[in-house]
Chains A and B, each alone.
Chain A
Amino acid sequence: MTVDPTIPRVSSMLLLDADGKRIAVKYFTPEWSTVPAQSAFEKSVFAKTSRTTAARGEVDITLFDEVVVVFKFVGDLMFYIVGTQEENELILSQVLTGFVESISLLLRGAVEKKTVLENLDLVLLAMDEIIDGGLLLETDATTIASRVTMRGAEENIPIAEQTLSQAYANVKEQIARSLLK
C-alpha cells in the first residue's frame, strides 16, 4: 500500500550558510539519496536563490526543476523548505516559518552561523520535531522549541496539564534563567 498522496509532504529541508555550504540538511525522498546528488541540488538551489533581489527576512519562493522551494534568509543563514510542484505553497511556507522561528526562539534571537554551529544539537532536534520522515509533525514555533529543550520533562508536569498562565510563567522563568546565565 503506498502512502496516501493527499498528505502534505516536504521533500527536503535545508539550512545553508551564506556561501551555500551545508550546515544541516534533511532529505526525505529517494531522488536525492546520494551525497553527490544532494550537494548538486544544494548548489543549484543556492545559485537560483542567493541572487534574489527580494527584501531579506521575507519568505520568498521559487520554482525550478519540478520542485517548489520556499526560503528565507536570516543574517548569514539560508533556510529552505522544498516540496513537490503539486504541494500547496502556503503549507510549505508555514513549515518554513515554524522552522525559522523555532530556531530563533532556541537561539534567543541570535540567528547566525556561529550560534547555529555552536548549538547544532538544538537545530538538528528542531528539524526532527518539525518533520518526521517527510510528514509535518508540528509547525508551531513555541511548541517545537519547548519540545526540543525537553521542557516539562524534569518537572514531570505534562505541558497539556499546565494551565495557560502556568505555562506562561514557566516560559518566562526559563527565559529569565537563560538570560542570567
Chain B
Amino acid sequence: MASTAQDPSAPLLRGDKKEEDRDEETEFSPFFGIEKGLVLQEARIFNSPQIDARKCQQVITKLLYLLCQGETFSKKEASEVFFSVTKLFQNKDSNLRRMVYLVIKDVCPSADEVIIITSSLMKDMNSKTDLYRANAIRVLCSILDSQLLGQIERYLKQGIVDKSPVVSSAVLVSAVHLLEGNSEIVKRWTNEIQEAQHNVHSMVQFHAVALLHALRANDRLAVSKLVSDLIKSSVRSPLAQCLLVRYVAQVIAESTAAPTGETRPFYDFLESCLRHKAEMVIFEAARAICNMRNVTLRELLPAVTVLQLFLSSSKPVLRFAAVRNINKVAQTNPGAVVNCNLDMEALISDSNRSIATLAITTLLKTSTESSVERLLKQMTSFMSDIPDEFKIVVVEAIRTLCLKFPQKYRALMNFLSNVLREDGGFDFKKAIVDSVLILIREIPEAKEPGLAHLCEFIEDCEFTYLSTQILHLLGLEGPKTKEPAKYIRYIYNRIILENATVRAAAVSSLAKYGALVPELRPRISILLQRALHDNDDEVRDRATLYLRELGGLNGSTPSQSDYIDLNWTLPNKNLETCLRQYLENGATQPFDLAIVPAAAAEKPRAETGKSKGASALANGPAPAAVKQEAEVTNHAAQLQAMPQFAMYGDLFKTCAAQQLTEEETEYSVLCIKHIFDGHVVFQFDCTNTVPEQVLEDVNVIVDLAEAEEFEEETLIPLPRMAYGAVGQCWAAFSKPAGALTTGRFVNTMRSRVKEIDPSTGEEEEEGYEDDYQLEDVEVAAADYIKAEAVSNFRNAWEAADAESEMTDDYGLGVKDSLQDAVEAVTAILGLKPCEGSDAVPPNARSHTVLLSGLLPGNVQVLVRMMFGIDMSRNVAMKLVVRSDGPETSEAIHQIIQNA
C-alpha cells in the first residue's frame, strides 16, 4: 500500500508539533491553532505540478475539519478550493482519490462548475476498480442535474446489477435520493432493481427492496403485490425483513377491518417474524402488531410475550425498545401488558434512568386500585436517584393516576408531599405544587390534606415564586375550610421568617382570613399590626391598607366583604396613568379610585386562565389549544364581570377572537362573540396604537341590515381609550331563543378623537367625531356549536332519536389527503371528534369520523362522517346527523352546504 495515511505516529500538522509540545497537557490536537486563511493558502499545493499525495490528503483533512467545526467558506473560497481539488484527479493515489470524492460532496460546487468534474467522474465510473466506480457514482448523483442524469443513466442502470455490492448499493442509495426530483428516470430501472432484490449481498437486497417500495409507495395495489412477492421469496437481510414488516403493517392499516373472529390478512406473517433470528426483525414485528388498529388481546399476546423477554435482556437498547413499546400499549390496552408488571418492577432499579422512568410510568398506567400503594412504596427509593426531568414525568403520571383513582388521593397525596420534601430544582417542585393544586381543585376531599401539605412545604421552601403562589391559594381556600384558624400560624411564620416578596404575599393572605372569617378578625388585626414595623415598604403598605380595611369592616355587616377589595382587579397600568394625570393636575382633591377604568382586568384573569390551562395539560391537548382555551376562558371571565348581561342566563359558548382591523393600523379591534340561549353579545377589545391621540366615548355601531332576525338590545361604550391600553365596548342582540340565527354585522367604530400635543402632553379640549370602518362580523351556525365529547359514541348514537337522522352526500373536491379533508370539515362544524376518530390512518382510502357537540339549550348533536378518496384525490363525504329533531339535523347540514 502506497499510503501512509494510517500511520498513527505521524502528526498531520508538522507546524503544530511545536505548539503541541509547549502545551501538551491541555491540548494535543493536531488541529490546534488551525486557521482558515492559512489552510486555504496551503490548498494551493493542489495546483503544483509535482503532487505530494500525502500532503494533499492532509490539507483536505484540514479543510474538512474546518467545515466540520462549523467554519463556512465564501463562494469565492469554495470555488477556488473546488477548482484546485479537481486537479487532483490526475493523481493515481487511491487514498487521495477517496478524499477528493469526499471533499467535493462537502464543498458542493455550483451548477456551472459541476461540468468541470463530470468528465473525470464519468471516467471513474467506468474504471475497473469497484471502489472508484461506487464513489464516483455517489458523488455524481449528489451534484448532478436531470439533464446530466439522462447522459449517465445507462451506466447507473448497469451499476445496479454490478457484481460488486459496493457499486450496486451506491447506485441504489443514490437512486433513493434521486427519486425526489427525477422519479420518472428511476422508474425506468425497475427491471434491474428487481434483479438486485435477489442479490446475495444483504445490504444490496435491503437497498433494492427499499427503492422498489419507494417507487410504488403511492400505489396500493402495487405495494400489496410487492409484499406478497417478498413474503414468498425469502428475504435474507434482516434490514430488508424489517422493511417488509413495515410494508405489511401498512397494508394491514389500509385494509378495511375484518369482521371480528377472522384473522387479519398477513397477521400470520407478522407473527412468524416474531420468531425470526434477528432481534431487529422480532422487535419490528412486535411493534407492528402493537400498532395495529383495533388490535385484539389475542393478537397482542404473542407480541407482548416477546417484548416481555426483551425486558430482561442484558442490552439496554433492547430493554428500552421493549419498555417503550409496552408503555405505548398500556395507554390503549392496559390489560394486555399486566403480565409484564413483574419484569417492569425489576426495571425500576435499571441503571438506565430512561428505562426506569418508562417502566414506572407504564406501571402507573397499568396499576389497579389495589396495587397503587405497593407501587408507591417501590418508587420512593427510585425517586431519590433520578434526574429532575424524569421526576417531573413521574409526578405527572401520579397526577393522572390520582385523577383516575380519586379514592386513593390520600396515598398519592402523601407520596407527592414526601417527594416535595426531597431536594430538587425549581421545575420539579413546581410540577409537584401544580399537581397538588390540580388535585385540590378536582378532588374536593383532597383539599384539606392538600392544603396541610402545602403549608408544611412553605415552611421550608426556597422558591419565592412557589411560596407566594401557595400563600395566595391559602388565602383563597383557607377561609372556606372548617378550621381556618389552623392555617394562620403557617402564614404568620412567613411574615417573620421570609424575604420581602413572600412577607407581602403572606400579609395579603392573612388579610383575607380577617375579611372572610369575622371570628378571626381581632386576632388577624393584632398580627397585621406587627407587620406595620416591617422594614420593607410594600409589606408595611399592605399591612396598613388591610388593617384599615379590616377596621372599616368591623363597623359594617360581615357579608359586605366586598368592601375590602381583596381581588385587586384594577389594571396597574390604568391606575398608573390615572395617578400621573392626577398629579399633573395639581392634586387638589382626594384621588378617586372610581375614575380608573376597570376594564381589561388582565392580571388576575390571566392567572385563572393559566391554571385552567395546567389542568387541561394533564389531559394532554396541544399547547396551542391550551393557550386558546385560556384565552377563551379569559374572555368569558371578562363578560361575567359585566352585570348588564347577567339576566341573559348562563353563557353557552365564547368563540375565539376575530381581528376586525388590519395589522399596524391606528386602532386594533378584536371581536369576541359570546353566545347565550336567546342573545348574542359582541365584545370589542379596542386598543389605541397612536400615542398622539386619545379616544373618548368609543362606540361600535352595528348595522343589522344583513342580520334581520337579530334585534339590538344594548350598546355599552368605552368611556376612554388611551394609548396602549385595552378597553372593551359591548353590543348585545336578542334573537329567537333556541334558533341558530345567522347573519352578517357591519361595524363602524364611532368615537371622539382628541389630539395630544406631543410637547406638553395636553389634550385638546374639544376633539372631533370620527368614524372608523371595521371589518364585518358574521354569526354562523357553527358559532352555536359547542364541542363536547361523549364518552361512548355508539351508545349515545343508539340512544339518539333515529327519526331525527338526516343523511346527505357531498363532494369536497380535490384535497391533499383525507386527513386534510377531515380537519377542514371538523373545523367548519366546530364539533368534537370522539374516540380519536379524527386521526386518519396513513394512506387510508376511506375513513369514518365521529363527532359530537351541544347546541344552545344543551341539545346534543351527533355526527357520523364517512370520507372516501379516489386515485385523483377527489374526496367525497357522507354526513349523517342525529339530534333532537329533523330541523336541528337539517341545520347542521346547512352549515356544510353554506361552507
Contacts and interface: CB of A to CB of B under 8 A. Distances in A.
A60 B131 contact: no
B183 interface: yes
Choose among B28, B95, B242 the residue with the greatest number of A CB atoms under 10 Å from its CB. B95
**Interface size range of chain B in the complex:** 35 or more
A161 B167 CA distance: 13
Interface residues of A, number: 73
B632 to A, nearest CB: 28
Contacts of B324: 63, 89
Interface string B95-120: 10111001001000000000000000
A66 B64 CA distance: 30
A61 B352 contact: yes
Interface string B210-233: 100110011000000000000000
Contacts of A89: 283, 317, 320-321, 324
A132 B599 CA distance: 61
B262 interface: no
A88 B283 contact: yes
B242 A88 contact: yes
B8 interface: yes
B60 A121 contact: yes
A118 B11 contact: yes
B30 A125 contact: no
Interface string B61-87: 100110011100000000000000000
Contact of A159 (B61, B130, B214): B130
Contact of A6 (B4, B180, B243, B283): B243
Contacts of A62: 320, 352, 354
B173 A88 contact: no
B183 A1 contact: yes
A23 B20 CA distance: 18
Contacts of A115: 8
Nearest to A121: B61
Contact of A152 (B4, B29, B131, B243): B131
Contact of A118 (B8, B166, B174, B180): B8
Given A59-B315, A115-B8, A118-B30, A124 B242 contact: no
Contacts of A159: 130, 164, 166
A117 B239 contact: no
B61 A120 contact: yes
B165 A154 contact: no
Interface string A84-107: 000011111110000000000011
Choose among A91, A94, A135, A153 the residue with the greatest number of B CB atoms under 10 Å from its CB. A153
Contacts of A74: none
12 contacts: A2-B180, A54-B352, A58-B316, A61-B354, A117-B12, A120-B61, A125-B102, A132-B177, A136-B203, A137-B170, A147-B166, A156-B129
Which A-B residue pairs are the 5 nearest by beta carbons? Answer: A4-B214, A35-B70, A153-B94, A89-B321, A150-B94
Given A118-B12, A120-B12, A150-B95, 15 more contacts: A3-B179, A8-B239, A8-B243, A38-B70, A53-B353, A89-B283, A89-B321, A93-B315, A110-B8, A117-B12, A122-B6, A132-B173, A138-B169, A150-B94, A154-B1
Interface of B: 1-2, 4-8, 10-12, 28-31, 57-58, 60-61, 64-65, 68-70, 94-95, 97-99, 102, 105, 128-132, 134, 138, 142, 163-166, 169-170, 173-174, 176-177, 179-180, 183, 203, 206, 210, 213-214, 217-218, 239, 242-243, 246-247, 250, 279-280, 283-284, 287, 315-318, 320-321, 324, 351-354, 387, 389
